[in-house]
Structure 1
Amino acid sequence: MTTPSSHARDVLSIEIDALIDMRDNLPPDFDAVVEMLLKVQGRVIVSGMGKSGHIAAKIAATMASTGTPAQYVHPGEASHGDLGMITAQDAVVLISNSGETKELADMIAHTRRFAIPLVAITKRASSTLAKQGDYQLQLPEAREACALGMAPTTSTTCTLALGDAVAVAMMHLRGFEKENYLTFHPGGSLGAQLMPVSAVMHTGDDLPIVHEATPMTEALLEMTAKGFGVAALIENGRLTGVITDGDLRRNMDGLMSQTAADVATRTPTTISPGALLPEALGIMNSKKISALFAVDDQGQVQGLVHIHDILRTGVA
């Protein structure tokens, strides 16, 4: 008796085999396509109909988020005015498993009329789309994973993977780094994971700062007023120590008669303003502290980051 799990394994096996085939037999035009797209002055327009359209939209989104200006255009809308979105500075990637999707006809004709580079992603090398394309990225000959062998499953998986391969290859060749990725992902957990401490740290008058000779009566007022449960001991702009709630408890006897220098911890844990928020959170968790002073290479205090600042970004 077959089970849902056995069907799932069959589907995954069929699709995995197709992906391995495509990996071992990359389309001959793959390198040429990547090199051409890297030179595009405008955008990469990606399109397809039905399930291929959904895959096209995802490929365009992946390219756009990894440094390649890209846009999905619906072929039906293209035939009713949106062809104007496609310029001679662009390149077009059209997806059709059969290569005979009639809704793509106007887009194909548009690219031919204005000499716009056309990349055809299709299974059939003899199809209209493949013949009209300047570049062909042929999908592997593999059966669809559905019970009828008709619903787009294996073909869409291979197309999506092929699109990822193109996008990531361009990403590497562009030298696209984490900092660039953050520019396109400012919101949500992805953006937060790549956000530097400097983006959320408190600076200037918000910082709780005391000096070596500051009486603890004044230091306590400073800590209370700023509300971080910590104060920085500063001399000539450099961080020479910190006072925490723990330091206050350890020095309760005669606390009010002491100076900030008497109470401060002299080897505080710090972080660079350019460090990423997950690193700051990891340090806080391992040290069981709730705030870190950010200092530059010369030990000059640049700011303070509190654990609440980090958690508000959605890192954890």
Structure 2
Amino acid sequence: MSSTDVYSAEPALPRLATSFLSRPETEDSSLKSRDDPSQRWNLRRDMEAGIQRGANGVFKCGTVIGFSKLRGKIRDDDFECVGEVPRLLLSSLLWQETESSVFIIHPSNYAAFAPETLLASLLTSPHHQPAPTREHAIQRLNNVQLLSIFDLPSAVRAISSVSERLNELQKSRRTSPVLFIIAGLDTFTEATIRASNPVKGAALLQSTLRTLTRLSRVYAAFLSVMLVNTSGVGKSPGTGTPSDPSSDHIHSVFHTVGSLFPTLLMRTLDQGIDTHLLLSTVKGAQVVEVVKDRVGDGVGKWCIWKA
């Protein structure tokens, strides 16, 4: 497949999240203990603040934020959890900013951003007290557009479609925050690599990441771009359990896994990310840590965000 084939593919058609729907879910929002050594940094505070236009906080407008899980001996459905933090941020934005817009590009079979999952997240969000009605939550989902994709070419076309919409929002002088989530770009690139070769796949990914970086800079006043990586980073399955160190103490796993980006694809992906968050399960606790922070001083910070 040539690079021109990618850009000639048919665009994905956007769907409003409210054109689907279904059952709610519950989420455990337990926080870590006060004596935890990472107490001085807590992702919950950044999540409660939501998408920030200023220079403070992890989740800033004008940056590309990546979310990844560790590979290794983990269940396949654990990879859905990598979408939970972006989902909570999405819920925060929809409740706090009534004029906000959200665009989500996701694999058609990826449940993390299915309409019913988004609805459940809105219904259980701590940012709306008392608990909202189902009708109210559905009304907020009218601000969300879903673009389902099947391969890398359709992802590229979907990104182009959102780019046009961002240009329209800027021309209309809209100032409300916009959240742009792209899930599964790494997985579709892996498929392209298997069908051709690593260099070609990495080149296509690099070109797409440049587009996302450009969008984040051009629309820095109101846009936050988030990449949700569904294949994982670090060791391949069957090569160990990096998320389960022998110590009984819950701590950062960054120093236990060796190289997080051992392949050309993973290194290319990381190069296109400003702030990279790694989610892992350690002794049954959900740990998140900053493994890259191009625009701040967050590298090495971590916490238990969900027990």
Report TM bin, short chain: under 0.3
Point out which structure has higher relative CO (alpha carbons under 8 A, 6+ apart).
Answer: 2
TM-score (norm 2): 0.26
Larger Rg: 1
